[in-house]
Structure 1
Amino acid sequence: MQDMQGLVALVTGAGNGIGRETARQLAARGATVGVNDLKPEFVDAAVDMIRAEGGDAFGVVANVSTREGVQGAVQAAAAHKGRFDILVNNAAWVRYQAVPDIQADTMDRMLDVGFKGVIWAIQAATEAMDPERGGAIVNVASTAAVRSTLNSVVYSGIKSGILGITRAAAAELGARHIRVNAVCPSAVPTEGTQRNRNADRDAKRIAATPMGRLGTVTDIAQAICYLASPQAEFVTAQALVVDGGVTFTNI
């Protein structure tokens, strides 16, 4: 698993859930990982966990909903060891609202974190990555980008936009040896998704999934690590659906 030795990564929204597990998995593969979150206590807990397992991690407390916050986070990661190789755009702020109930402040915050923040992070990473060595960017989208659910107009729109951002950035940044890909997880139990889950809904999802279970944060993190790794050096502009087969089957 030590295929990322010497590489420096930043994972946004890594205080818990998919982001925290991704940071953990990157560190297990030898990368030095910047753990970003808005809450210092989440950052400290994640960094302590990774270090206790023998990994190399450092905290980056920053608000990635602003251009300045994103730039500061990337610059801090790049300054840690004098290089920057991997960006994982995982941070999101999500609320599900029916069309008549969509509120401007809710939509603005979702866009700031989950859409604008991704663009600002890609911009900052492009400047931080060595133009000859390049690097890898992985954006966390969702199966909602290709198969939407109720009350998800804003969320599905943002995640669909992430796929467009991914392809456009891959086309533009390939000349700089920067690969840009996305992962599309299905419903994964995390601290952040708990409010939108219940036993009946989970049972229906499991019944519709060929693999017969819900995904885990480890499933998603392993896919992200592959796309970020040298093993995927000729993979770019892709959207890897990690969902146990539920999106493209009907059982």
Structure 2
Amino acid sequence: MSLAGSAAVVTGAGSGIGREIALRFAGAGARVAVCDVNAAAADATVATIRAAAGEAVAILMDVTDEDAVNEGVDRAAEAFGRIDTMVSNAGIQIVHPLEDFPYEEFRRVVDIHLGGAFLLTKACIRHMYPRKSGSLIYMGSVHSHEASPLKSAYVSAKHGILGLARVMAKEGAKHGVRSNVICPGFVKTPLVEKQIPEQARDLGIPEADVVSRIMLGNTVDGEFTSMADVAELALFLAGFSSNALTGQSITASHGWHMG
């Protein structure tokens, strides 16, 4: 699928899934605004894209800062002349039993995932609506549909993203803007690798059991979802050209969640 001539804004694109999506979009011809709170990581992704003859700009962005989001999106629009695709991917993970979950940490997780998605959407549609075209892509999770112990903040935020995306499917339709959610299963990123010892500690089980039982126990084949799998789904949603596919959540989880 070609994205030639289009422009995309991807948050959390300095590493992990966001980086993979940015590279895949650039390989399909999109110009990519690589947004991340880590400037060096964003620069490294841009360097990789440019080394492959792609076009990209690095944008330092804290997605919980409305001014930073607005300025970053406006900078991307100025650089590329348009914004066709938004990928709201920035996120963190903090796990605790609810009775031990500090409220400031709960709020931080929700602010980055859900608040950041809201601010990014608001900034991007200002550029999409006048063009009567655009694709809003949100990074959900199997936890947009299923709950897991220790993850009250993350599960709450990912459920909220479903609601936001569905509202935007209805509000965006008359402006030619589609809205969908990618819901990956466990992808072996630094975010997931960080959870393994944390969950082993809080659940009182070996780390190997966290992987085999908690993370992969409900899959059909005991396999992690790959970053490439998620990037291909993002490419498909970015290139899908009608409102036939909007307001949907698409799960890539090796059967971890079936819905």
Q: TM above 0.5, one fold?
A: yes
- Please give the per-residue CA displacement for 1:149-188, whole angstroms capped at 9, x wherever unaligned: 1101111011000000000111011100010100111111
**1:82 matches 2:91:** no
2:173 is aligned with 1:174: yes
Offset at 1:192?
2.0
1:227 matched residue in structure 2: 237
- Output the CA distance in 2 between the equivalents of 1:226 and 1:61: 27
Q: Is the 8 A contact 2:142 2:256 kept in 1?
A: no
- Aligned-pair identity in percent equals 30
Aligned 8 A contact 1:99 1:153 in 2: yes
Residue 209 of structure 1 corresponds to 219
d(CA) in 2 for partners of 1:119, 1:174: 17
Aligned to 2:19: 20
Q: In terms of mean alpha carbon deviation, does 120-129 or 158-167 score higher?
A: 120-129
Unaligned runs of 5+ in 1: none
Are the structure 2 counterparts of residues 81 and 132 from structure 1 closer, same or farther at C-alpha, using a change threshold of 3 Å?
Answer: closer
What is the match of residue 199 of structure 2? none
Distance 2:247 2:146 in 1: 19
1:183 maps onto 2:193 in alignment: no
Q: Letter of the aligned partner of 1:126 in structure 2?
A: I
Decide which of 226, 240, 249 is 2:250's aligned counterpart. 240
Shift of 1:20: 0.3
Residue number in structure 1 paired with 2:99: 100
How far apart are 1:68 and its partner, in Å? Answer: 1.2
- Please identify runs of 4+ aligned residues in structure 1 that moved more than 4 A: none
What displacement does 1:78 show?
A: 0.7
Deviation, structure 1 residue 201:
2.4
Deviation at 1:76, TM superposition (A): 1.2
CA RMSD of aligned residues (A): 1.6
Work out whether residues 83 and 130 of structure 1, in 8 Å CA contact, stay in contact via their aligned partners in 2: no
Displacement of 1:29 in angstroms is 0.6
SS at match of 2:111: helix
- Report the TM-score when normalising by structure 2: 0.91
Q: What's the secondary structure of 2:149's corresponding residue?
A: coil
> How far apart are the structure 2 equivalents of 1:26 and 1:227?
11
- The one-character-per-residue Cα deviations of 1:215-242 (angstroms, maximum 9, x if unpaired) are 1111111111111113565311000011
More displaced stretch, 169-178 vs 92-101: 92-101
Q: Which residue identity does 1:38 align to in structure 2?
A: V
Give the whole-Å Cα distance in 1 for the aligned partners of 2:169 and 2:66. 21
Cα distance, 1:130 vs. partner? Answer: 4.7
CA contact (8 A) 1:93 1:110 kept: yes
Question: Using the alignment, how far apart are the partners of 1:92 and 1:174 within structure 2?
Answer: 27
8 Å CA contact 1:167–1:181 kept in 2: the answer is yes
Instruction: Give the drift of 1:64.
Output: 1.0
Aligned length, in residue pairs: 248
Structure-1 separation of matches of 2:149 and 2:227: 23
8 Å contact kept, 1:8–1:33: yes
For residue 147 of structure 1, report the CA deviation from its aligned partner.
Answer: 1.1
Indicate conservation of the 8 Å contact 2:107/2:153, yes or no. no
